[in-house]
């Protein structure tokens, strides 16, 4: 890293022959030419003493030289520029099928909150591990206290993933932030568990949806009625299949086959064999499962009038999927019309239909393994999240009859 300049003035002193110190006014300054970056590194040594300036300059030189040898740059990107580079890398992951598009959108949204907090023009190389200690307090104040702890935890994980990536690229001096520990969540408190619907509430929702979509109750045009019916069938299928929102929105007609089987009584039933493609799954693993009430797919196919095997199911034209905004808007209208209480406090959203399906399957006697296989998740996650979700399960356990076997073990009757 040779200096551009070899002739020094009277008040310029060489440092290791590759840098120098010089005076500006009464204070000594440091200067070093960085060949790779094509710029001088300049910094005030904050001293009037020549001996102190020389010592500090030598330490600074060794630090910069060491970082340069490791491929690290001296000049810093802004946080905004760093986030943009990280998002470009994650967008490549989408193109390679390593993450789904919805995940990328979530990452982008989470990092936007961080940019607002840390300041988009802040320098990456000036960040300290303690700079985000008050992130939860900021997010809570920004949202009026409505942001959930789990939401902030996910944001913090994404922020540190971005910082680790930038650190590996030599753009930061830290590899993560030390976030303050979030307030402890009482996992046994039903009020803060993930939202679901009771059987009675779901029946009310089903009736409300029929009224909401009925032409005689609508003064809207045909396109609006069709959109309402699309959301109605989305809800019906989601509550029977337990599909994640992203998985369901990306279902194609080629992914679903309706079959006729017989139930325990020998009566014919229409089941849907659903194939979830790996590229649409949150866990990046494909799965196939049978879903009851397969006739909902057939009925929607008749209503919408398109069934191109490569066409999207939850779409008016088979090409453009319903947006999450449209889905949430009509779903909330239906739930409100059903008179289901405490929507905001319980966080009743389309994802609640997955919770409803899982709860119903567990209560019907399916094992956690069976439910986990259908829903594309782990047995541990199912057991941890849903075992104590419904009072009826606890009631069943409480009133169960027992008898003692000859070997002394207990048997549930």
What is the Cα–Cα distance from 226 to 233, expressed in whole angstroms?
11
Residue 137, token pair as written in the block = 């307090």
Tens digits of residue pLDDT in 36-59: 878 888 888 989 999 999 999 999
User: For 242, left (φ over 0), alpha (ψ -120 to 50), or beta?
Assistant: left
3-class state of residue 315 by DSSP: strand
Using a 10 angstrom Cβ sphere, with 0-12 exposed, 13-18 middle and 19 or more buried, the burial of residue 303 is: middle
Mean pLDDT (whole number) for 211-224: 79
Provide the pLDDT for residue 86. 96
User: Which CATH topology does 199-397 take?
Assistant: hpI Integrase; Chain A (1.10.443)
Instruction: Answer whether residue 277 shows pLDDT above 80.
Output: yes
Strand order in the sheet with 13-15: 13-15, 19-24, 27-34, 39-44
Cα Rg of the chain, angstroms: 30
Q: Considering the chain, what is the average pLDDT of its residues? A: 85
**12 HSE (CA, 13 A, CB side):** 13
* pLDDT confidence band for 68 (50 / 70 / 90): confident
Nearest partner of 350 among 306, 319, 314, judged by Cα: 314
- Contacts of 259 by beta carbon, 8 Å cutoff, 6+ apart: 270, 271, 272, 273, 290, 294
Q: What is the pLDDT of residue 406?
A: 58
**Alpha carbons 177 and 180: distance in angstroms, whole number:** 9
pLDDT in tens, 337-354: 999 888 777 788 899 999
What is the pLDDT, as a whole number, of residue 187?
47
Tens digit of each residue's pLDDT (9 = 90 or more) over 355-408: 889 888 888 888 889 999 999 998 888 877 776 555 556 666 666 555 555 555
Instruction: List strand residue ranges (DSSP E) for 193-308, in order.
Output: 256-262, 268-276, 287-291
Q: Which residues pair with 268 in a beta bridge?
A: 262
Predicted local distance difference test score (pLDDT) of residue 188: 46
Closest to 388 (Cα-Cα) out of 346, 347, 359: 359
Given this model, what pLDDT does residue 397 score? 60
CA distance 173 to 175: 7
Q: At what angle do helices 352-363 and 368-375 cross, to 10 degrees?
A: 150
In tens, the pLDDT along 280-327 reads: 888 888 999 999 999 999 999 999 887 677 899 999 888 888 998 999
Q: How far is CA 351 from CA 200, 246, 327, 356, 358, in A?
A: 18, 10, 11, 9, 11
Q: What local confidence, expressed as pLDDT, does residue 18 receive?
A: 81
Tens-place pLDDT, residues 168-179: 988 888 999 999
Cα–Cα distance measured from residue 317 to residue 340, given in angstroms and rounded to the nearest whole number: 32
Q: What SS3 state is found at 316? A: coil
Residue-wise DSSP of 181-202 = PPPPP-TT-GGGSPP---HHHH
pTM of model > 0.75 = no
Which pLDDT score is estimated for 149?
86
- The yes-or-no verdict on residue 193 having pLDDT over 80 is no
| pLDDT given for residue 191 in this prediction | 40
């Amino acid at each position: 890293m040779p200096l551009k300049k070899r002739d020094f003035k009277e008040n310029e002193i060489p440092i290791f022959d590759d840098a120098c110190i010089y005076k500006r006014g009464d204070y000594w300054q440091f200067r070093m030419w960085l060949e790779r970056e094509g710029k001088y590194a300049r910094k005030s040594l904050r001293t009037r003493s020549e001996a102190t300036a020389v010592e500090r300059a030598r330490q600074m030189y060794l630090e910069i030289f060491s970082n340069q040898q490791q491929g690290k740059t001296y000049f810093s990107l802004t946080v905004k520029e760093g986030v943009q580079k990280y998002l470009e890398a994650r967008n490549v992951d989408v193109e390679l099928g390593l993450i789904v598009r919805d995940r990328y959108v979530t990452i982008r949204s989470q990092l936007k909150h961080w940019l607002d907090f840390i300041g988009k023009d802040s320098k990456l190389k000036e960040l300290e591990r303690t700079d985000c200690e008050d992130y939860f307090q900021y997010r809570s104040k920004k949202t009026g206290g409505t942001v959930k702890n789990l939401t902030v935890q996910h944001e913090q994980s994404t922020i540190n993933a971005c910082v680790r990536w930038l650190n590996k690229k030599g753009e930061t001096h830290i590899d993560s932030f030390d976030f303050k520990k979030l307030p402890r969540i009482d996992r046994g408190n039903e009020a803060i568990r993930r939202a679901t619907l009771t059987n009675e509430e779901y029946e009310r929702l089903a009736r409300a949806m029929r009224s909401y979509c009925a032409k005689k109750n609508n003064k809207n045009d045909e396109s609006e009625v069709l959109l309402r019916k699309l959301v109605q069938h989305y809800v019906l299928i989601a509550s029977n299949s337990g599909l994640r929102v992203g998985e369901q929105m990306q279902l194609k007609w080629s992914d679903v086959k309706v079959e006729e089987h017989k139930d325990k009584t020998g009566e014919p039933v229409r089941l849907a064999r659903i194939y979830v493609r790996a590229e649409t799954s949150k866990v990046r693993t494909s799965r196939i499962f049978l879903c009851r009430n397969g006739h909902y797919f057939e009925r929607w196919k008749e209503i919408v009038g398109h069934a191109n095997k490569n066409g999207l199911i939850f779409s008016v034209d088979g090409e453009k999927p319903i947006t999450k905004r449209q889905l949430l808007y009509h779903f909330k209208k239906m739930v409100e019309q059903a008179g289901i209480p405490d929507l905001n406090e319980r966080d009743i959203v389309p994802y609640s239909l997955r919770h409803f399906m899982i709860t119903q399957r567990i209560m019907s006697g399916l094992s956690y393994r069976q439910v986990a296989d259908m829903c594309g998740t782990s047995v541990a996650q199912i057991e941890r999240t849903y075992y104590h979700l419904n009072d009826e399960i606890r009631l069943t356990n409480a009133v169960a009859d027992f008898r003692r076997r000859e070997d002394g073990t207990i048997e549930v009757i």
